[in-house]
Structure 1
Amino acid sequence: MAPAITLAADAPQFSSANTGFMLICSALVMLMTPGLAFFYGGMVRVKSTLNMLMMSFISLGIVTILWVLYGFSLAFGTDKGSVIGWSSDFVGFTGIGKMELWSGYTIPVYVFAVFQLMFAIITPALISGALADRVKFSAWALFLTLWVTIVYFPVAHWVWGTGGWAFDLGVIDFAGGTAVHINAGAAALGVILVIGKRVGFKRDPMRPHSLPLVMLGAGLLWFGWFGFNAGSWLGNDDGVGPLMFVNTQVATAAAMLAWLAYEKIRHGAFTTLGAASGAVAGLVAITPSGGAVSPLGAIAVGAIAGVLCAMAVGLKYRFGYDDSLDVVGVHMVGGIAGSLLVGLFASGGGQSDVKGLFYGGGLDQFWKQCAGVFAVLAYSLVASAILAFLIDRTLGMRVPEDDEMSGIDQAEHAETAYDHTGAGGGTIGSTTPTPLAAASAPSKKVDA
């Protein structure tokens, strides 16, 4: 993915079909962030529902503005030393022509930029699930701003920007196993090691309050992920996009079934939470690998990731780190699995002729995948922990313990997710309640 160039006689010509397809894919990826909000929102207790929704939705606002101002330039501008990009024409989108094509492709720069924007939006939102119930909203907004600037934009350049060191090394990451999922999962681990556990962790019940919301969120994620994955080939008409579409469905199905089978053997039941989590694990794992493996390989990738992620979510109880909604267990572990399995299952018949170990290619690609995986993991883990530490020592990352116990929704947002005061949502006897009065009105006791 090279910096943009103007139209020339020998350059690829504009394609309205590819442009329309990529705009649809961009909208699908945008839908994933509200889907993630529902997925996470259903997994928390009643008293944290709105806060969880807002931690995803605020990313739509903050990252969009940063992307236009400088993020796109840092991620996809002209390479500077293999670690960052920069093109003044991309700053504020001031130098981009409406029909200027993205280099080597048939879509305008604007279309590529907005597609990649949706990736930048959802990546920090993924981190928020690990921090449920205990983080100040203002501190989260500041962390998000700093994190995408210092961590996401450079890592996106490493992996996808022409001249980025991982790109030049030949690390395969079709749609974000390293840049999105390992990046977010490692960041989540770094932050929770700094801010500590929720009050009552491993003592009080912290069950999901709405499994239907979880399933709705998982369904929206699954739907949007087709744009996330198939769109990452940018509309090229060589069959790789359709292969990625098929592999996305196949791996997700395999992971869901594998998670449920593990759950039945280990815990004696097939749970809806397990089905939703298994599906997401499969989506995560096929994201980096789906353009390089066959559909049979996608089944293997999904099944392996489903079992590994199901096993990994229990590690927080063994090691004592409070990953509230299993971001580390699903996104970091799933991203690692999918990225490394490229080195084993790459068939040579997809996005490139690179073959993995099981197809006679040896371990060369596997070691390249290891370099990308562990470099991103280490950088994101350390940088995120430092950012969280600095914010915690200045602004303070956590809400007061009393607010955490009584409910972060009321403390941080002056609202509650479910109104039990009456059908109209206002206080009894009030004819013109203000929004704040309605939000703070007495409510029936709800098990939070």
Structure 2
Amino acid sequence: MNREEVDRALARLGAERDAVEAALLALQDHQGRRLLEGAALSGRTEERWSVAAQALTLLWELFDRHSEALASARAVRSRRNRPGSAELAELSELLGGPAVTVPGGRLPEAAGPGPARLVERISLDELMERMNAWYATVLEVVNAADAVWSALPARIDLLLVELGRVQMLAVSVGVRPGSHPLGDDLAGLAEELTTLRAEVLADPLALWRPARVPAQRAGDTPTGAGPFAPAAGVVDTERFDRAGRGLDDIRVELEGLLRLRDEAHERLQQVGDLLQRADATLAEARRARGEVLAKIAATEVPAVPGPASALRERIVQAVELQQTGQWHRLAPLLDTLEDAATKELARARQSLTEVAQPLALRAELRGRLEAYKAMAARLGLAEDPEVVERFEKARWLLWSAPCDLRAAAEAVNRFQQSIRPARPPAPRPEAGGPVDRPAIGYQDERGA
């Protein structure tokens, strides 16, 4: 090297040395490193940190060797303002040749092919590359553990607090482990979160998913990233997220039971009201059936069903569950009762409709008879003997008991026919003459 090349090399190596010192001091103060040194580790984290801790110790030793070699080179350069050939040869050896003696032992992750040696002589550039590789190993472990510890323990603690609140809500509605599936689910979530928290604290790297990238050389480090770029990756939060979703689902169901506790009395009253209306409708159907049997002849009248006694027994059971606060058992029972009571009222109404059908038919015939009577008066047939006779016959059949509906319907039809005006014969038109049309106001049977 000439003098300019020596000065440039010294400046570059000095800048690298300062950057390495700053990086090592920052690593020494790194929160993740302090936590790793003070934690009771296990599993993958214990294995990785045992290697990284050795590398960190070795890094400081190599940094000292680098600093000593650089100091020796600076001392040679400071002998003369313009070094001679002997000084330039010595500086070329110190700055570019294998002038640094380092331990030959290799770390497990940094081991390469070939047997290990007790000591090695390498150049300052080779020493920097080796320091870069081992620093990346340490930094990856430290950053990964710190990322997991920053992401999960606090969130797990918050979820455990929320779990405690949900457990109190569960107890308030009678949901306990062993008596209801939701209670068992809450107990399982508590165990899972406690186990997960312990695993996170002891083995954070088990929940780290690295994005592997090639190790960067010191000269390739991006601006602002420090002397070495940290490894990238993500924290695996699948178990935590699954527990959070499970707790949300349980909370929604428990809030439904809580609403049931507030609405149970009103809903039970509504069920009772539906059954009272059903009983009243059945009583009306039985009364109508008796009237049909007494007043309508030759009619098949369906039987009226009795009250739903089994349903009332279940209402008593629901009231007992309400009084004892067993809301998780009351919820499905009350849904069933509401559905059954609605169906019971519909069944009572259908029975009343079927039973009272003959009476409805008689009422319809009576209405038709009165309408035809008014039509006869408008047509001036109210005094016609045949019309009067047919009206009295139909009226007697409809207002007598028991009433023969078939005969009464035929009598009403005959009375209707008696008041229907006869269609006048159509005159035969003469050739070229006008054609007479029917008189306006004529109505056939459908018009009547």
In the superposition, the TM-score normalised over structure 2's length comes to 0.20
Q: Which has the higher contact order (CA 8 A, sep 6+)?
A: 1
In the superposition, the TM-score normalised over structure 1's length comes to 0.20
